[in-house]
Amino acid sequence: MAAPLSVPPSTSDVSPAVVDAVRHSLDGRWAWLRDEIRGREDFADLHVEPGTDAETHRQRVWEMLGQLAADGHAVHGFPTAVGGRGDIGGSVVSFEMLAFADLSLQVKSGVQWGLFGGAIQALGSPEQQARYLPSVMDLSLPGCFGMTETGHGSDVQSVHTTATYDPATEEFVVDTPTESAKKDYIGNAARDGRMAAVFVQLWSAPTGEAPVRHGVHAVLVPLRDEEGNVLPGVEITDDGHKEGLNGVDNGRLAFHGVRVPRENLLDRYGSVNADGTYSSSIESENRRFFTMLGALVRGRISVSGSAVGAAQLALTIAIRYAEARRQFAAPGGDGEIVILDYLAHQRKLFPLLARTYALRFAQNELVEMLHDIQTEREAGGSVDENRQRELESRAAGIKALSTWNATEVIQVCREACGGQGYLSENRLGTLRADTDVFTTFEGDNTVLLQLVAKGLISGYADDFGNLDTLGTIRFVADQVLDTVAERTSLHQLAERLRGAATGGDDEELLDSSWQIKLLDDREQHTLDGLVRRLRPARGKGVTPDKAFAIFNRAQDHLLHSARSHLDGLVLDAFNRACEAQTDPTARQLMRSVCDLYALSVVEQDKGWFLEHGRISAGRSKAVTSEINKLCHTLRPHARALVDGFGIPESWIDAPIATGAENRRQDEAIAHTASLGA
């Protein structure tokens, strides 16, 4: 009988130095800040026990939020002129790290500093920033972000709440005209918030003239006095118990003739003079609206990062448990089998592990892009509109992929841990409930993919102009080839890549250039097909209802085109991370995970690749076989790969992942050995 073991046997030759190298890649540009936060002695205490009643949970989260404020956790992204660090990327990273603590605390901090404070920073003047942001940072002014309405979630441009200027008193009168216009799901509203940045339809005109609508703007509206009493004209109701995040006091806000000073209009992109005259540096209402929303993109990117963090935590728990848990004896064997040694279990977890790695690298690049663009804007520089549009498109797409991934990962991990995963003490149930809403807040994911696809169509029109059919085909072929050659820095592959995707031997499956070529080809083909389907909507004499019907019938194609584009972006980010890794062992390990991600994408959509002749039936089977081989290759390194996430031991806080299952297995093995003796 084999001797008792605390951990299953492993053939991994991955050293701690290699794990550190992988972790450094995953940490990205702000690795130093992640390490700084990992060093917090109190971080493991920033959580609330499962089963805590909602009011106690809210109070505890409020206390922990004050603790973060006192420690300066909030200052990273705010301007140095008001006491911040001016590190926009750092603010997103510090928010991401809270995903390993209590998600209610993370979301409430995001409301206070990311949304409420972020709105003042992005949409307010320097004077407004100086007046409000210090109090936002130190939590002496708890606030809300009043954008979403009961009847207008993703369609912000159509909100019904109004702010009408009264030149006689130099005040805005804020009103909620209907029940569907109530600001809903507003964090901090039900209990703690004292002011809200409320998104309204702005009406004003010079004295004596009829008010004119100027589109959506944000107005700061006081909600409560210093003692917490609700102010006249403000109606606040509690959203009540939710499926998760019950430490966040979500509520509904309605306003009945509430008057606020003219100075409360966040006027970076539009202002109203004392006589009611409206002025803006951006003449077009549509362009002004999208410029404002673009300035608020940090919140969407933060949600994406927190979803990646939640998925990392779930995978850490499930894979650690799977390396300890044993079930069923092999014929002729002398003990039960570690469940992670079963291919079926590897197939559950390893492709999701690879996708989470890929999304972490894509998220890192997104944060860098946000930081560079918004830092340039804060410094007074001009930002290229194409870069800003690309940022907004990537933020929408990566947020959708990351939050959908978190939902799938956490559910699969819960199932992979059996009944143990259903116990609250092991965190997976709470993670599942708390992250479920991520797929619909900061933008419904389906709507976000539509935004990505619309951006692709616009880019298509810009690139293709008036090319005829043959010219378009040649343009596409050359562009795909040039892009692949540039990404892989392997220009000698150019001639081979001109051949059919079905050629070559199975070794080609692990060739990054072949993977990129295949995904690029799918992206371009789906986009070409989408444009052809939508082109009739722009024909002469097409009525608006007919144009909408054409668009509506193509929505499945629209979403597939967006997803194809995003899969390519994520793979690119993973490849760049592999190329940047200087440790050869870490690079090879990451390369294998990247291969698993790429082939899993192909396997998930193999119907499309087969239907369109991009792979043969034999190649399709080879993809499945290669994924199985990669799972076997990565099995000995599973613990190293989740350790690469860099989650400190005390933060994991799930008994099945921190020793409880190992102790049970040791005892069972010793018992079996005693019976044999």
Phi–psi pair at 164, nearest 5 degrees: -110, 130
111 neighbors 188 (Cβ within 8 angstroms): yes
Beta carbons within 8 Å of 23's beta carbon, 6+ residues apart? 643, 644, 645, 646
505 conformational bin, left if phi > 0, alpha if psi -120 to 50, beta if neither: beta
215 conformational bin, left if phi > 0, alpha if psi -120 to 50, beta if neither: left
453 neighbors 559 (Cβ within 8 angstroms): yes
What is the C-alpha separation between 167 and 360, in angstroms, rounded? 51
Query: What is the CB neighbour count within 10 angstroms for residue 351?
Result: 21
Q: Helix axis angle, 297-324 relative to 385-416, nearest 10°?
A: 30
Q: For tokens 């986009």, what's the residue?
A: 527
554 neighbors 533 (Cβ within 8 angstroms): yes
What is the C-alpha separation between 235 and 128, in angstroms, rounded? 26
257 conformational bin, left if phi > 0, alpha if psi -120 to 50, beta if neither: left
What is the C-alpha separation between 164 and 71, in angstroms, rounded? 40
Following DSSP, what letter does each residue of 12-77 receive, concatenated?
----HHHHHHHHHHHHGGGHHHHHHHHT-TTGGG----TT--HHHHHHHHHHHHHHHHHTTTT-TT
* Six token digits for residue 637: 């390194």
Q: For tokens 């392997």, what's the residue?
A: 490
Residue 352 Cα to chain centre, angstroms: 16
95 neighbors 110 (Cβ within 8 angstroms): yes
Q: What is the DSSP letter of 116?
A: I
599 neighbors 625 (Cβ within 8 angstroms): no
* Six token digits for residue 446: 């389906």
3-state secondary structure 209-239: CCCEEEEEEEEEEECECCCCCECCCEEEEEC
* Six token digits for residue 311: 């998925």
Buried b (16+ CB within 10 A) or exposed e, 334-344: ebbebbbbeee
What is the C-alpha separation between 385 and 291, in angstroms, rounded? 10
What are the catalytic residues?
A: 442
